[in-house]
Structure 1
């Protein structure tokens, strides 16, 4: 088994891209996930810019773990769908050029009625992206959590393309009422990227909430061991969406995960 690779989500640090890269190197992370926006938007980064960005990461001994495409509407919403799909496709090409080959896109809750307009839109969207990914050599890593793993696996099996994968966020599963550990093994062969994010179940005096890595209810020793059994070769990128001390939480999260990075 190979050691697990640990990275960070740039936006969680609340630093500029350059500062986040420097911080990732100081933390001992091996890679970064970053939004494909602003200076890193596909249309803004030409051949020279792409080469310079690769060189910048190399100078800090880092890799690009994945590119994220933040969207306000899902792949199942008709409004502005074609420009949104084109943006994802361009990001897939950018990810390939930058060596990541993984593009994170939010996955809406899977449709119950396969004949509904929403279901048809989502299927057409994923067929378009999956076919494009097979041609250019990049993966769409759908960020899941609304639905149990078996349902996701069955759904994706119906597309017949190899580039539709998933981003596994155990906190997402816990926050939506699913067991984060039990839902990992059924996704064997589908997990391309992992968001290392923690959460705590509801209690008498509190609701479900995201917490710093290691402070929640997720069994990270068991989860990382399962990833190694699955021969996961992507990154665990430490992410923090809430909290007042995000940079410190990310730094401590990298340190925490390093305890489980080596094969058992």
Structure 2
């Protein structure tokens, strides 16, 4: 692989206020940062002047906004609170555009059990509504699904026609669900919008534990090679949601990725 990887890190990883988190990210050797729109921003910070100030701060540190994320507390299709959830996502799409990012990541919960039925139809309808909004402001949607059926996922994606909806490829989640990340990339190579860099192991009991990148079940050399063959030119977002030293683990993961990619 001869093209440098575009590596980003979530600012939430530092557990600091946004300005301090951006400054910390700048010391990690990354090209971009990912913002958590639900937990890191106030209305004032998303005003025109607030966005300009943030843009200047990023420029001073030679950083870009790789993507934004909007964690959901409930599955996208959960009926309770659905209207409020969609309203919040519409707002997140607008905020992503204001922050000069073209990518919003969010989980959708478990996939429907089949490519037919009311649950499947509702998911497709909601994603089309969100994609339409994203297309209007120039934002693509990277969804993080749960479930083992790539056939159902393919069906859902094929029925969204109003804008770009693709995958936030979480290698750890895929590997821990007994799937092969490389096979997922091979099938959805034109739908991978972002790679979430995590690793995990599955215990004999069936439980899954997140571990530092390179110590789990993800075959990173193979995955990077397949992504390269697919001409993936998007962001690799190095994340850590468990462990006592998330920043240190993220720093080591960045070095590990470079070593695997360039030997």
Q: TM-score, normalised by structure 1?
A: 0.90
**Secondary structure in 1 matching 2:182:** coil
Aligned residue in 2 for 1:63: 64
Alignment of 1:59-208 (within 5 A): 59-113=60-114, 116-203=117-204, 207-208=207-208
CA apart distance, 1:191: 0.8
How many residues are matched? 262
Aligned residue in 2 for 1:239: 239
**Secondary structure in 2 matching 1:257:** helix
**Partners of 2:134 and 2:108 in 1: how far apart?**
16
CA apart distance, 1:18: 2.4
CA apart distance, 1:171: 0.4
Q: Is the 8 A contact 1:107 1:142 kept in 2?
A: yes
CA apart distance, 1:117: 4.1
**Partners of 1:46 and 1:221 in 2: how far apart?**
42
CA-atom RMSD in angstroms: 2.2
Moved more, 218-227 or 113-122: 113-122
Q: TM-score, normalised by structure 2?
A: 0.91
CA apart distance, 1:118: 3.0
Q: 1:45 to 1:51 in 2, by over 3 A?
A: same
**Partners of 1:2 and 1:144 in 2: how far apart?**
29
**Partners of 2:220 and 2:235 in 1: how far apart?**
15
Q: Is the 8 A contact 1:148 1:178 kept in 2?
A: no
Structure 2 gaps, min length 5: none
Moved over 6 A (4+): none
Q: 1:151 to 1:119 in 2, by over 3 A?
A: closer
**Partners of 1:171 and 1:50 in 2: how far apart?**
33
Aligned residue in 2 for 1:28: 29
**Partners of 2:143 and 2:74 in 1: how far apart?**
14
Q: 1:117 to 1:145 in 2, by over 3 A?
A: closer
Q: Is the 8 A contact 2:221 2:261 kept in 1?
A: no
